[in-house]
Chain A
């Protein structure tokens, strides 16, 4: 029997602080402000379309770096409130979805396909390949910062407003990216991912 670690529930009252006299907007870093970043949680409200234009102009690699940076800050706040590795799936997903929704990047959910972990983001303001790459990079940074594990993510498929992002190690993500480039559907890619390594290579 696994014991779940209790966590401090998210308090939306002080999640965002608007310091209008000082022209500052701050994001709460967690239950306590021990993990407050060097910028003291200051945030900038940027239009989603402008962010998309930036990501498209910067390219995929720059967009991914931007996304990881955004995700780390979100994951850090989750880590401040919750033991992600010891927490239940529901609790962790709830905290992650809260942080992602707080910054306006969409609604987060998690799917399990076999042993594969897939994070679904719906209603994200970012679109396109660069936008999906940015969003997947944000999730990567968030999960990595929250769990403390080095991981990789890659967009599997977009179905309307819902984007499925696969979470795995570097090798697995590289293989899936290759299968997807070969025209393999994301379902078959996940199936192959569960197959033995030799069969998957062949």
Chain B
């Protein structure tokens, strides 16, 4: 008799509590605790830009596929707004359009003697002994994965579930829910023994629908790890912008020596030509040009002038054009021959080393030098007394 009465009293309390929960849930404002939870759990503490919930998309898809919702019928009207509140944290990451597709929510409502706020809860020992009602909701993955897209401009599909509600089905349609309290307790024990599903669990107290003590995800660290694993590589365009190639393309790198040789103008190679005894057409002419002025010069009048040592100044020889007429005298033609017939390999070896640049050869005449020269020229020469005496005697 007493047991029955006590059971009725508890039922009455539960009913009153449920009524209160209904009233609280009916309020449109978002629960404060849920926001805190989202900040603490779902959103990285220090998101590195550009952090977006897009990265959660593959994981969430998997979670939806394995979602299982079980809920007792008597708490059914209460859990729906709770689920909405639970979906709010996802809006923190991609506000305001994204709603978290709740896959699995299991709530434990601790029945207290009197309704109290979450902050007013005392030590755990005070309410651990209270009866617990477990509510589980299962959401079927009815929405295609493609529709769950992030609202991020990275080329991936947007997570657009605005206005949609996660379809919740009661356990009674798919899973057999415990109809009695005893069976419910047994099932609760089984649930405790078994590890939670991969989905998020919401452990909410029945007396505080909005200020629900939401349990953290069963394995938040693992979840975040999975997120990193499923990160898709950025598009090529962004990759190019963010990541520079660590190593330059070595194929384009040419050794210094290899670059120098092709750049050596042939005109610098010609002056190093010695004067071996070579023969060629008398009609062939050459053009000798100095880097300073590029003046066409006739062939050396005498062969020995051509044979004189390496040229100190860069001399440009244009072999293609026949600028200088062949010399009338045979020896002049021979001089031209000597220059033209010089073997190229010898020239290439000595040209970059011995031929100085035009800037080095060209004397730098400064204004101060000119002034000093004029002053010295105008100044009386240091004539000897004998010279002066001779000049005076010549008058």
Min distance, Cβ A118 to any Cβ of chain B, angstroms = 9
Q: Is the CB–CB distance between B385 and A172 below 8 Å?
A: no
- In the complex, whether A89 has a CB less than 8 A from a CB of chain B is yes
B383 with A169: CB separation less than 8 A? no
Is A167 in contact with B383, judged by CB distance below 8 angstroms? no
**Is A14 at the interface (CB under 8 A from chain B)?**
no
CA distance A168 to B248 in the complex (A): 88
**Cβ contact within 8 Å between A116 and B384:** no
A43 at the interface (CB under 8 A from B): no
In the assembled complex, the CB of A169 is this many whole angstroms from the nearest CB of chain B, namely 5
A85 with B391: CB separation less than 8 A? no
Cα distance, A91 to B391, chains bound together (Å): 18
Choice from A85, A89, A92, A115 contacting B395 with Cβ under 8 Å: A115
Those of B359-392 within 8 Å (CB) of chain A: 381-392
Partner of A86, one of B386, B390, B393, B395: B386
> What is the bound-complex CA distance between A143 and B389, given in angstroms?
10
Instruction: A2 to B386: give the CA distance in the assembly, Å.
Output: 11
Residues of B within 8 A of A98 (CB): none
Interface size of A in residues (CB-CB distance below 8 Å): 26
List, in ascending order, chain A residues with CB within 8 A of B385's CB.
84-85, 87-89, 91-93, 147
A151, B384: Cβ atoms closer than 8 Å: no
Instruction: Report yes or no: B384 in contact with A168, Cβ–Cβ below 8 A.
Output: no
CB interface residues, A 1-55, toward B, < 8 Å: 1-2, 4
Task: For B190, list chain A residues within 8 Å (CB).
Answer: none
A167 lies within 8 A of B389 (CB): yes
With a cutoff of 8 Å between Cβ atoms, the chain B residues found around residue A172 in the complex are 393, 395
Interface digits, A163-179 against B, CB 8 Å rule (1 contact, 0 not)? 00001110010000000
Question: Residue B263 at the A interface, CB < 8 A?
Answer: no
Q: In the complex, A88 Cα to B386 Cα: how many Å?
A: 8
Judge if B394 is at the interface, Cβ distance under 8 Å: yes
Contacts of B387 in A (CB 8 A): 2
* Chain A nearest Cβ from B387, distance in angstroms: 8
Q: Which residues of A sit under 8 angstroms from B393, Cβ to Cβ?
A: 149, 151, 167-169, 172
Which residues from chain B contact A115 at a C-beta distance below 8 Å? 391-392, 394-395
Using known A-B contacts A85-B389, A112-B388, A147-B389, determine if residue A168 contacts B395 with beta carbons closer than 8 Å: yes
Please indicate the chain B residues that have their CB under 8 angstroms from the CB of A156 in the complex: none
Contacts of B390 in A (CB 8 A): 149
Residue from B383, B391, B395 whose CB has the most chain A CB atoms within 10 Å: B395
- Min CB–CB distance A30 → chain B (angstroms): 17
Assuming the A-B contacts A2-B382, A2-B383, are A89 and B392 also in contact, with contact meaning beta carbons closer than 8 angstroms in the complex?
Answer: no
Asked whether A169 lies within 8 Å of B382 as measured between CB atoms, the reply is no
**Could you tell me if B383 and A117 are in contact, using CB atoms closer than 8 angstroms?**
no
Inter-subunit contact B384/A2 (CB<8 Å): yes
CA separation between A94 and B384, bound complex, in Å? 13
Within A104-140, the residues touching B (CB, 8 Å) are 112, 115-117
A117–B390 CA distance with the chains assembled, in angstroms = 10
Which of A112, A147, A168 makes the CB contact (< 8 A) with B386?
Answer: A147
Give the residues in chain A near B395, CB-CB below 8 Å: 115-116, 168-169, 172, 193-194
Contacts of A169 in B (CB 8 A): 393-395
Q: What is the minimal beta-carbon distance from A142 to any residue of chain B, in angstroms? A: 13
Inter-chain CA distance A151–B386, complex, in Å, is 13
Most interface-central of A84, A117, A143, A194 (chain B CB within 10 A):
A117
Identify B388's interface contact among A91, A117, A168, CB under 8 A.
A117
Q: Which residue of B lies closest to A117 (CB)?
A: B392
What residue of chain B has the Cβ atom nearest to residue A175's Cβ?
B395
Shortest distance in angstroms between A115's beta carbon and chain B's nearest beta carbon?
Answer: 4
CA distance A185 to B241 in the complex (A): 99
Which residues 37-91 of A have a CB within 8 angstroms of B?
Answer: 84-89, 91
The answer to whether A85 and B384 have CB atoms under 8 Å apart is yes
Q: Min CB distance, B222 to chain A, in Å? A: 97
Q: Are B384 and A117 touching (Cβ within 8 A)? A: no
Chain A, residue nearest B390 (CB): A149
In whole angstroms, how far apart are the Cα atoms of A87 and B392 in the complex? 16
CB distance from B379 to the nearest CB of A (A): 13
Q: When chains A and B are docked, how far (Å) is the Cα of A143 from the Cα of B388?
A: 12
Give 6 CB contacts A-B under 8 Å: A2-B381, A84-B386, A89-B384, A115-B395, A167-B389, A193-B395
Known: A117-B391, A169-B393, A169-B395. 15 other contacts (CB 8 A): A2-B382, A85-B385, A85-B386, A85-B389, A87-B384, A88-B382, A89-B384, A92-B385, A115-B394, A116-B392, A117-B392, A147-B385, A149-B393, A167-B389, A172-B393
Nearest 6 Cβ contacts at the A-B interface: A85-B386, A117-B392, A92-B385, A115-B391, A169-B393, A172-B395
